[in-house]
Amino acid sequence: MHLNYHFFKFLCPALKDEISGGTISACFSQNKEELIIEISKLDGSPFFIRALLLPSNTSISFPKDFKRSKKNNVDLFPEIIGKRITDIKLLNFERAFHLTLDDTQALLFKMHGSRSNLLYFKDLGTTPFTIFRKELKEDMALTIPELEKSLELTKDRFLELEGNASQFLPTLGKRPRAWLKEAGYLEADMETRFSLMCEVMDMLESPLFTVFNENDNYYLTLLPCVSPIASTADPLEACNIYFQKAVVKKNFENVKNQLLRTLTEKRKKTVNYISKTSQKLEGMENEPPPSQTADIIMANLHQIPVGTEKVSLFDFYANETREIALKRGVSPQKFAEQLYKKSKNKKIEFEQLRKNLAQKEKDLEEIAAEEEFLHDSEDFRSIKSLIKTGDRFSKVQPQIQLPYKRFETEGFEIWVGKSAKANDELLRRYTWKEDIWLHAKDVAGSHVIIKTQSGMVPTKLVLERAAALAAHYSKNKTASLAAVMYTPCKYVRKVKGSLPGAVKVDREKVILVKPEGPEDI
């Protein structure tokens, strides 16, 4: 908040007018760095003090009302409940003040930036009984008298210090020091320096508080400001304006920007997928289906010698003779059957890719709409409404903790177990018998599952990519080539009493792949 002693000179009297004689009725925290104090004023109305002791942004504010959450909060400083506020005292030349309780006790607000804390003293002359930020252990040795300073703000002392502003008035703060520097303080002679110092001290004694923005950060100052966001003569109101801008508004902007970054990343990935899939579909449309080669083989079975691996046959689709490579050890008729099956799978893959492409294009439209909505959003309510109504792209949404990481290739989902225990849970609760199970051979690693779909068989490319992931998430991650075994899940079972992740596997096949991480999938 960058508050200095001079601001507290105005704040403490204003607070005293509001709550002197009142009784503390509640003191609690529902955020790690925030303390809420509720005070019952003499007229019976409530008054709230909110101390936010974030190391990056310490602030104090006075909300008109404060709704305590029903859970996730804790009562603190029980010793002060029921105590009467008899005085509010600012410590001399210090960024600290205390509420005097029942004349002999105190709750000290030490507003020292990243070292800020609240300290409760059972006796004004002793060390603290307890503190809010327990990690600041050195605060337990503080006493109120030793915090106070005595400064002589005379010209003689100024000259004695050779115009050193920080030694003459340590409570100046960053903004007044910057004002002096801009006014030519460092280059000026002693008379001019003292004149500038008196000028800045006069401004610090003027009760006009300004909130302004500089380099996307908010500040509260007593100095004149060229482009103020708000100005007021009420120090309590100034604190509330600052809190609304520097904490609430800043948090909103951070969340909003994070959402926009998430959508931008999602848009890039979606555009990339659309581009690659469109190119692949175009290639598949222009490439003759394997069934044509099968037709040519079946039409010329009588011309193909037994055991041959290459044969020249007339291609009645292209009206020319072409050389066809056959598979060793497989009869031409059987090979043709395999080509028909491959052609059928390619047709299914083609249709699935078209569906995926249509969905991604729809996603892109939704992303653009959500980006526009976010750009126009001005408060948390609108963003919460966006998330509540189903922002599928937001990282802010609460995520169900699943035992696997999920990837997608050509319309097939590939699941990778997160740990040995997660591998067991993945196999037991999230797979069905026809899913394909993969695991790096003879080394520790994650279980990988290809989720099969009705009427669709994973292509060779899907199998290879899943195997590459299985190798990547294993002890063979750095190998140039790794063996990965695979089989339908119905042939994988857990043996009673075995270690987490250990399974019995039947009818497995082995594929050699290069280990590749998700960034390559």
- pLDDT of 36-80, one tens digit each? 999 999 999 999 999 988 777 788 999 998 888 887 889 999 999
233: number of Cβ within 10 Å: 11
- Per-residue pLDDT of 499-520, as tens digits, reads 888 999 999 999 999 999 987 6
Say if residue 103's pLDDT is above 50.
Answer: yes
Secondary structure element (H or E) that encloses residue 105, with its range: strand 105-110
Say if residue 98's pLDDT is above 90.
Answer: yes
57 CB contacts (<8 Å, ≥6 apart)? 1, 246, 247, 250
pLDDT band at 376 (very low <50, low <70, confident <90, very high): confident
368: number of Cβ within 10 Å: 12
The pLDDT of residue 408 is 86
How far is residue 327's CA from residue 298's CA, in Å, rounded to a whole number?
15
Say if residue 296's pLDDT is above 70.
Answer: yes
Say if residue 28's pLDDT is above 50.
Answer: yes
Q: Are 211 and 238 in contact (CB under 8 A)?
A: yes
Side-chain half-sphere of 448: how many Cα atoms within 13 Å? Answer: 30
Say if residue 2's pLDDT is above 70.
Answer: no
DSSP 55: T
Q: First-to-last CA distance in the chain?
A: 47
Q: 250: closest CA among 107, 156, 380, 155?
A: 380
Q: Are 28 and 45 in contact (CB under 8 A)?
A: no
DSSP 474: B
The pLDDT of residue 224 is 85
- Per-residue pLDDT of 478-504, as tens digits, reads 999 999 999 999 999 988 888 888 999
Side-chain half-sphere of 239: how many Cα atoms within 13 Å? Answer: 23
The reply to whether domains 5-147 and 252-388 share a CATH topology is no
Mean pLDDT of the chain: 88
The pLDDT of residue 496 is 82
Percent of the chain with pLDDT over 70: 94
Say if residue 341's pLDDT is above 80.
Answer: yes
Q: Are 123 and 36 in contact (CB under 8 A)?
A: no
Say if residue 198's pLDDT is above 90.
Answer: yes
Secondary structure element (H or E) that encloses residue 299, with its range: helix 290-299
Q: Which residue, chain included where needed, has tokens 């609108």? A: 382
Q: Which residue, chain included where needed, has tokens 């005292």? A: 89
Environment class of 61 (CB within 10 Å of its CB; exposed 0-12, middle 13-18, buried 19+): buried
For the chain, the structural domain boundaries read 5-147, 155-233, 252-388, 404-520
- Per-residue pLDDT of 406-456, as tens digits, reads 898 887 889 999 999 899 989 888 888 889 999 999 999 999 999 987 667
Say if residue 393's pLDDT is above 70.
Answer: no
Tokens of 206: 């003027």
Say if residue 3's pLDDT is above 80.
Answer: no
Residue 521 identity (one-letter amino acid): I
* 395 or 270, which is more confident: 270
Q: Which residue, chain included where needed, has tokens 């659309």? A: 274
Say if residue 248's pLDDT is above 80.
Answer: no
The pLDDT of residue 4 is 79
Assign domain 5-147 to its CATH superfamily: ibrinogen binding protein from staphylococcus aureus domain (2.30.310.10)
pLDDT band at 521 (very low <50, low <70, confident <90, very high): low
Would you call 235 helix, strand, or coil by DSSP?
helix
Candidate from 242-251, 308-317, 360-369 with smallest mean pLDDT: 242-251
- Per-residue pLDDT of 121-172, as tens digits, reads 999 989 999 999 999 999 999 999 999 888 899 999 999 999 999 899 988 8
The pLDDT of residue 390 is 44
Candidate from 15-29, 189-203, 268-282, 341-355 with smallest mean pLDDT: 341-355
Number of residues in the chain: 521
Residue range 252-388 forms a domain whose CATH class is: mainly alpha
The pLDDT of residue 385 is 55
The pLDDT of residue 86 is 96
How far is residue 301's CA from residue 278's CA, in Å, rounded to a whole number?
37
Say if residue 187's pLDDT is above 80.
Answer: yes
The pLDDT of residue 382 is 67
26 CB contacts (<8 Å, ≥6 apart)? 36, 37, 38, 68, 75, 81
Point out which residues pair with 210 in neighbouring strands: 221, 231
Percent of the chain with pLDDT over 90: 57
